[in-house]
Amino acid sequence: MFSRFKKPESGPAPTGLKPVTSSGPVAPPAAPAPKPVTLSARPMASAPPPKTAAETMASDKEKKRKDKIMELKVELHKRLLDNLNLSALEKASEASLKLEIASITAEALDEMSVALNTQDRQVLHQELYDEVMGLGPLEALLKDDTVNDILVNGPKRIFVERGGKLSLTDITFKDERHLLRIIDKIVSAVGRRVDESNPYCDARLADGSRFNCMVPPVAVDGSLVSIRKFKKDKLGIADLVRFGAFTEEMAAYLQAAVATRLNVIVSGGTGSGKTTTLNALSSFIDNSERILTIEDTAELQLQQVHVGRMESRPPNVEGKGAVTQRDCLRNALRMRPDRIIVGETRGEEVIDMLQAMNTGHDGSMTTIHANSARDGISRLENMIAMSGIDMPIKAMRSQISSAVNLIVQASRLQDGSRRMVSITEITGMEGEVISMQEIFRYERLGVEGNGKIIGRFNATGIRSAYSDRFRQWGYDLPASIYEPIG
């Protein structure tokens, strides 16, 4: 067989591209048979009508066809790895490699006396290409722009999140070994390793997507993978207004808050849109300011000219070389920033963040994991306590209340929509309690038959405590934006 990328018949093993071996780092447990899963938030009104005999036959046929393609893929993948010169692949163009795969496949199918129609053949070629060059079954989902999150629960269950809703896909890995091989490919590309002694890992994919995995035996039913897809074009303020995440009035208020250098915390649950909101809010920062960003996985995409980005680093295999968010933050304070943006405050860095907000780096922003503004404050208090700083509760609260001006609460509602459900100002202390006032909120009014939530944004009628500041800085917001409707 002629192949430009064909391995030399004899001679040294190819170097360069890491050969993907079929044995994973951990012996896979027997994968349990997938159970049917229903993810619908609401109970189904009635059971689906029973399948007709013709429908059952058609779905059996489809399943057989998929099984056959899967078997072929495994065999062909083996042959490809045996035949391709892996070190030459790095320089190969996509088109020439696809041609090569097509020719090796055609030869192998001939040999195995298997006939496939054009469509199946094309699918097979693409999947083989993804297997050799990319991340196998995950590749198609990574390319699908409508997918936000990819969640793998063992080899046979891959879920995706589209439009805020989770659904099970019909894409699967062949078995746990296959899944482990792809995980290995991802983590070894960033110089990490996962195995029994080190069973989980955070990484960033080549396209910027955030990746986390946990492998057996800690992951009981097969490896767990979560991927937050990286969006090249992050949603901006105008997009968020268009999608109903908040109103134009709220956007005008937020613009004044960010431009006049209030310290802002975006709070929310997992996947509620915190990072997206933080990124959008950053667009209100003046182009002349020096901004330093600190993240565990670099996701923010600021548009300003003067931006310094930092990414924390976990320890290496020997447990050395860790650079924490706190290390980055402390160093950032020596780098003359006008503003500091921490992607997510989740630990000991909280104290440095609050100090930075209090001491000349006003206009700083971060996100926290909390379900309401009040919860957000408790979370900050807990983080301070957990960081081992022995501070009386009153001192802690006074530190928080003088550092944080605004808490923006993001939420993913049951219908999948992501909304800014509350904007709350911190106005000071009353005794030992931090006083707050809500300026805007999302009012839930009901739910449509299809599960879509009916609601509206409303002002609470309370005028911003920063109105004078806004005016002095040239952001003269009309009093009407604080007036409630209805």
Ligand X SMILES: Nc1ncnc2c1ncn2[C@@H]1O[C@H](COP(=O)(O)OP(=O)(O)OP(=O)(O)O)[C@@H](O)[C@H]1O
In the complex, the smallest distance separating the C-beta of residue 247 from ligand X, rounded to whole angstroms, is: 13
Nearer to Mg ion, 328 or 481 (CB): 328
243 is a contact residue toward ligand X (CB under 6 A): yes
346 is a contact residue toward ligand X (CB under 6 A): no
Q: Say what the alpha-carbon torsion angle 426, 427, 433, 436 is, to the nearest 10 degrees.
A: -50
Pick from 172, 272, 282, 399 the residue near ligand X by CB under 6 A: 272
Taking each helix axis from N to C end, the angle separating 53-83 and 94-111, rounded to the nearest 10 degrees, works out to 110
Pick from 153, 223, 267, 275 the residue near Mg ion by CB under 5 A: 275
Nearer to ligand X, 243 or 475 (CB): 243
Residue 175 tokens, joined:
């078995």
312 is a contact residue toward Mg ion (CB under 5 A): no
Nearer to ligand X, 237 or 426 (CB): 237
Q: Which stretch binds ligand X (CB under 6 A): 68-76, 238-246, 352-360, 382-390?
A: 238-246
Site size toward Mg ion (CB under 5 A) is 2
Cα separation, 102 vs 85, whole angstroms: 16
- What is the Rg, in whole angstroms, of the alpha carbon atoms belonging to the chain? 27
231 is a contact residue toward ligand X (CB under 6 A): yes
In the complex, the smallest distance separating the C-beta of residue 265 from Mg ion, rounded to whole angstroms, is: 13
Q: Which stretch binds ligand X (CB under 6 A): 14-22, 214-222, 272-280, 379-387?
A: 272-280
State which H helix or E strand residue 153 sits in. strand 149-153
In the complex, the smallest distance separating the C-beta of residue 379 from Mg ion, rounded to whole angstroms, is: 15
> Taking CB under 6 A as the criterion, which residues in 391-450 touch ligand X?
418
270 is a contact residue toward ligand X (CB under 6 A): yes
419 in Cβ contact with 410 (< 8 Å): yes
Kindly provide the residue ranges of all beta strands, DSSP E only, lying in 304-404, ordered along the sequence: 307-311, 339-342, 365-369
State which H helix or E strand residue 405 sits in. none
Q: Which stretch binds ligand X (CB under 6 A): 111-119, 170-178, 267-275, 422-430?
A: 267-275
CA atoms within 13 A on the CB side of 438: 16
Tell me the residue number closest to Mg ion, measured at CB.
Answer: 275
Q: Sign of the CA dihedral 9, 10, 11, 14?
A: positive
In the complex, the smallest distance separating the C-beta of residue 153 from ligand X, rounded to whole angstroms, is: 17
H helices present in 164-245, as ranges? 176-189, 237-242
Pick from 274, 339, 361, 397 the residue near ligand X by CB under 6 A: 274
> Taking CB under 6 A as the criterion, which residues in 44-83 touch ligand X?
none
Cα separation, 236 vs 254, whole angstroms: 13
Q: Which stretch binds Mg ion (CB under 5 A): 147-155, 269-277, 434-442, 471-479?
A: 269-277
Burial of 47 (0-12, 13-18, 19+ CB in 10 A): exposed
Nearer to ligand X, 25 or 343 (CB): 343
In the complex, the smallest distance separating the C-beta of residue 266 from ligand X, rounded to whole angstroms, is: 8
Nearer to ligand X, 235 or 391 (CB): 235
Cα separation, 248 vs 29, whole angstroms: 53
3-state secondary structure of 471: helix
Cα distance from N-terminal residue to C-terminal residue, the chain: 77
Nearer to ligand X, 21 or 146 (CB): 146
Nearer to Mg ion, 181 or 274 (CB): 274
Pick from 31, 186, 245, 300 the residue near ligand X by CB under 6 A: 245
In the complex, the smallest distance separating the C-beta of residue 301 from ligand X, rounded to whole angstroms, is: 12
In the complex, the smallest distance separating the C-beta of residue 308 from ligand X, rounded to whole angstroms, is: 21
Per DSSP bridges, beta strands 158-162 and 149-153 are antiparallel
DSSP assigned state of 482:
G
Provide long-range contacts, Cβ within 8 A and 24+ apart, for 206-210. 207/142, 208/298, 208/299, 209/142, 210/297, 210/299
Site size toward ligand X (CB under 6 A) is 16
> Taking CB under 6 A as the criterion, which residues in 101-160 touch ligand X?
148
| DSSP, residue by residue, 65-99 | HHHHHHHHHHHHHHHHHHHB-HHHHTT--HHHHHH
475 is a contact residue toward ligand X (CB under 6 A): no
345 is a contact residue toward Mg ion (CB under 5 A): no
In the complex, the smallest distance separating the C-beta of residue 332 from Mg ion, rounded to whole angstroms, is: 19
Summarize as ranges the residues that interact with Mg ion (CB under 5 A): 274-275
Summarize as ranges the residues that interact with ligand X (CB under 6 A): 148, 228, 231, 235, 240, 243, 245, 268, 270-276, 418
